[in-house]
Structure 1
Amino acid sequence: MSPTLFGIPLVALALTLPWILYPQPSTRWLNNRLLTLQSWFIGRFITQIFQPINKAGHKWAVLFTSLMVFLITLNLLGLLPYTFTPTTQLSLNMAFAVPLWLATVILGMRNQPTHTLGHLLPEGTPTLLIPVLVIIETMSHLMRPLALGVRLMANLTAGHLLIQLIATATIVLLPLMPAVAILTMTLLFLLTLLEVAVAVIQAYVFVLLLSLYLQEIV
């Protein structure tokens, strides 16, 4: 359940906070270091994601970049004490995954219906296996948004649970066995660094898989 602070759901604050943290580009000729770093990161991300996609799919650059920055911010802010990570909720992840996946399917059916339907049946399939393979491929396509949402939720939830368990063990062992507590505290620090990397990587993988689905239909 989403915790509340003074009657305000923390998930609402978490969803609105990322848009306040990032500076807006200015009209000056020279930007400061933060704006330069931010522009470099966005430029590198767009180049990496859209390099294998033809120009018809470049219209999605703003949407994918905004989603990437938004997910990274939510994942990283969730590692701070007394905060809540909205992306550990499957409902929020599905709210991102289902509309974007469905948009790629509708776009493919409108622009390239033959090519899109051709993914349901590999070339050279025996006649007897055609109905079975069509059903299997259809189910695999329908499972794509669920896989996106569950992957993001499971990785972040597992990391948070590990941090919670090791932190509890450290607090319990500190008055009893200080030497062991120092070891668990070191492990907790390393796990926190790993979770920072996981938060960034999982946001990148979420957008990368969406770009691969887009690449199939443009």
Structure 2
Amino acid sequence: MALNFFDQFMSPTLMGIPLMGLALLLPWTLYPTCTPRWLNNRLLTLQAWFVGLFTQQIFTPLNPEGHKWATLFTSLMLFLITMNLLGLLPYTFTPTTQLSLNMGFAVPLWLATVIIGMRNQPTVALGHLLPEGTPVPLIPVLIVIETISLFIRPLALGVRLTANLTAGHLLIQLIATAVFVLLPLMPSVAIITALVLFLLTLLEVAVAMIQAYVFVLLLSLYLQENV
């Protein structure tokens, strides 16, 4: 039974070929492309409004040097939020429940922000490891702690996204199983449980969107420290 609960996180295969690549390419086929017309339809207008609002909110606090990352971060946000939401549909697979994929996003982007800080302003970047006014006896210990916290950032990014989505999917499957088991035995309890399942699904939709936003927001904060 425990193995069946975790089967939903296994990459689906067709004739022995993993479909992970297809799942990663699917989000980009769902978004309409802009047209050269003066007036777009409602969907394109809503999409452009959302992208513009998100980009403005993320990059307003950043220096102009960091605005070069706008296209990358906005695309990553749309990609993550689409994969998270598609994973809530029945008979689907959520690639963002795989820690390897999330670390593949987190580590290169975090490392790029660190390299930019070391190249453009090495004094300021290294100054984050030792806050001003630190007592002399605490300097070696504090440098070690800040260095560990710096290198644990990408791990925290990947684990946060993976853990939240995995926990939500498992909880939904557990409650759904309880509904099917209780339906012939105690119909009234099964109806109440189904209502809880519906509310939990709405909560998981919110979590899927919030976690994608938090992932990109934290990356933008790391970038802000280094530009």
Q: For this structure pair, what is the TM-score category when the shorter chain's length is used for normalisation?
A: over 0.9
- Kindly provide the CA deviation profile for residues 134-184 of structure 1, in whole angstroms up to 9, marking residues without a partner as x: 010000000000000000000000000000000000000011111000001
Select the residue among 74, 90, 96 that pairs with 2:99. Answer: 90
SS for the counterpart of 1:120 is: coil
What are the Cα deviations for residues 113-135 of structure 1, in whole angstroms up to 9, with x where unaligned? 00000000011111111111001
Gaps of 5+ in 2: 1-9
Q: 1:156 is matched with which residue: 148, 165, 176?
A: 165
Correspondence 1:174-213 to 2 at 5 A: 174-213=183-222
Spell out, residue by residue over 1:70-120, the C-alpha distance to the aligned partner (whole angstroms, 9 max, x if none).
Answer: 000110000011111111110000000000000000000000000000000
Q: Structure 2 matches for 1:1-218, cutoff 5 A?
A: 1-218=10-227
Query: Sequence identity, in percent?
Result: 80
In structure 2, distance between residues paired with 1:90 and 1:39 = 31
CA contact (8 A) 1:10 1:83 kept: no
Letter in 1 for 2:56: T
Q: Could you say what the CA RMSD is over the residues aligned between the two structures, in angstroms? A: 0.8
What TM-score do you get using the length of structure 1 for normalisation?
0.98
Contact preservation (8 Å) 1:11, 1:85: no
Is contact 1:87-1:93 (8 Å) kept?
yes
Verify the 8 A CA contact 1:78 1:84 in the aligned structure 2. Answer: yes
Structure 1: 5+ residue stretches without partners = none
Alignment: residue pair count: 218
